A = this chain, B = another copy of it.
Amino acid sequence: MRQVAVLGIGQTIIDEQWDKSLREIAGEAAFAAMQDAGVEHPEGLFVGNMLSPLIGGQNQLGTFIADWVGMWRAEAVKIEAACGSGGAAFRAGLMAVASGEMETALVVGVEKMTDKAGHDVTAALTTAADADYEVEQGVSFVGLNALVMRRYMYEFGWKHADFGPFSINAHANAMHNPYARLHDRITIEQFERSAMVATPINLLDASPIGDGAAAVILVPAEKVSSLPGRPRIVVAGSASATDTIAVHSRKDPLFLSAAYLSAKRAYEMAGVGIEDIDLFELHDAFSIMAALSLEACGFAERGQGPRLGLENQIQIKGGRIPVCTRGGLKARGHPVGATGMYQIVEVAQQLRGECGRGQVDGAKTGMAQNIGGSGATIVTHILKAE
C-alpha cells in the first residue's frame, strides 16, 4: 500500500449548536478541510457517526453529507464503531487511498447530540454497550466506566484525587483551543468537590457531550510536497483492534488489550517507539480511561497511569508525554462519533506548529487513539511531520 498524507483539516466549535442542522455542522468542517487542501471534489467520503439514527432520525449519512457538500455521484459511506466511529472512518478513508482505489478522500466525523434531553442521550449512549447482557441489567455507559474505575482504585490503591491532574491538564490546554467546548481552568479542589455522577466518577472526571464535526482530506503522500512552514503530514501508523463488547467478559477489565494491540501494530508500522511520540491525543471520556490508555500504550506501568499526571509528565510544556493538548474529550468536548476525527485534526495542527500558546515545541510525531465502548473497539493512528 502507498503512503497517505493529511492534506487539509477542518473543524467546528463544539457546543450546543441548536441553530445548525447536522448537515450544516458536517459541511462546515468538510468545506474547511477542502479549502485548506485546495481540493474541490474528493472522490470518496467516509463519515464517522454514532447517534444520528437515534437522535436525528437520519441514517445513510455518507450520501446525506456527500449530497450537501456537492460531492454528487461520489462514493460515500458511514462507519460506526460507537465512540470510536471517527477513528474507524479515518482508517477506512486511509485504506481507500492507500490501496489506490481513489486519489482523494474526505473523512468527516460528525455528531449532533444536544437536540434531545439528557436522559434520551444517556439511553442512546448505552447502545455502545452490550444490550443483551449489560444494558439489560440497568447499567448506563458512565456506570460501566464507574465500575472499572472503582475496581482500579481498589486494586492499585489510588484515591479519587489522584486522577485530578488528567482533568486539570485537559482544561488548561483547552484554554488555547478556540474550538473547545469548555474554557475554564479547574483546580484540584473543584475536581474533588464536583457533583457525583456515578461513584466514583464525578462531573469533572467525565467529558461533556456536544455538537461538532471535524474533517480531513487524504491524498497519496507522493503528491504532497513539504513546504517552508508547512510540513507534509503523513499517516505513518494505523491499526484497529477489538476486545469483548461486555466488560464482564474480560479476563482483566483493567487492561485495554485492544489499545495495547492497536498501538503495538501502529508503532511497528510507523517504525517508532514510545520515546518518539511527541504528543498523544488519548480518549479521556472518563479520567480512568486516560490512565488505562497510557498504561496499555506503554507510557506507564500497569496500575501506574495516574503517576504520570501527578508527576507533571503530561503537560504541553516540559511533560514527557503531553496528552490532550487541545483539551481532550474532557474539555474540548466529546461529540461521540466525531471525537476520533477531532483527535486526528489536533495532531495535524500540532505537527504543523499551528497551536500558538498550546503548541508542543518541535512536535514531529503524534499519536491519536480513539475508543468505542468501554475499550471494545480501539483505533490508533500515528502521524509524522516530514
Which chain A residues have a beta carbon within 8 Å of chain B's beta carbons? 1, 21, 23, 50-51, 53-54, 56-64, 66-67, 71-82, 84, 88, 92, 95-96, 98-101, 126-128, 130-132, 135, 239-246, 249, 257-258, 261, 372-373, 376-377
Residue contacts A-B, CB under 8 angstroms, 24 given: A1-B99, A23-B132, A57-B126, A58-B132, A59-B80, A60-B81, A60-B377, A62-B242, A63-B81, A63-B242, A63-B372, A64-B130, A64-B245, A67-B244, A67-B245, A71-B242, A73-B241, A73-B242, A75-B241, A76-B377, A77-B80, A77-B92, A79-B79, A99-B101
| Cα A82 to Cα B80 with chains together (Å) | 13
Which residues from chain B contact A95 at a C-beta distance below 8 Å?
95-96, 99, 101
Q: Are B240 and A72 in contact (CB under 8 A)?
A: no
Which residues from chain B contact A76 at a C-beta distance below 8 Å?
81, 240, 242, 377
Q: Are B78 and A60 in contact (CB under 8 A)?
A: no
| Cα A56 to Cα B92 with chains together (Å) | 25
| Cα A81 to Cα B58 with chains together (Å) | 11
Residue on B nearest A83 in the bound complex, by CB: B60
Copies in the complex: 2
| Cα A54 to Cα B258 with chains together (Å) | 27
If A128-B59, A128-B60 touch, whether A258 touches B73 (CB-CB below 8 Å) is: yes
If A1-B101, A80-B80, A98-B99 touch, whether A261 touches B132 (CB-CB below 8 Å) is: no
Residue on B nearest A66 in the bound complex, by CB: B242
Which residues from chain B contact A373 at a C-beta distance below 8 Å?
60, 63
| Cα A99 to Cα B3 with chains together (Å) | 12
> Of residues A61, A63, A71, A84, which shows the largest number of chain B Cβ atoms within 10 Å of its Cβ?
A63
Residue on B nearest A101 in the bound complex, by CB: B95
| Cα A132 to Cα B88 with chains together (Å) | 27
Q: How far apart are A285's CB and chain B's nearest CB, in angstroms?
A: 14
| Cα A78 to Cα B376 with chains together (Å) | 13
Residue on B nearest A249 in the bound complex, by CB: B67
Residue on B nearest A45 in the bound complex, by CB: B242
Nearest 4 CB-CB pairs, A to B? A99-B99, A59-B127, A60-B82, A58-B131
Which residues from chain B contact A245 at a C-beta distance below 8 Å?
60, 63-64, 67
Give 8 A-B pairs besides A67-B244, A73-B242 with Cβ atoms closer than 8 angstroms. A1-B99, A60-B84, A60-B372, A62-B242, A62-B377, A63-B245, A73-B257, A77-B92
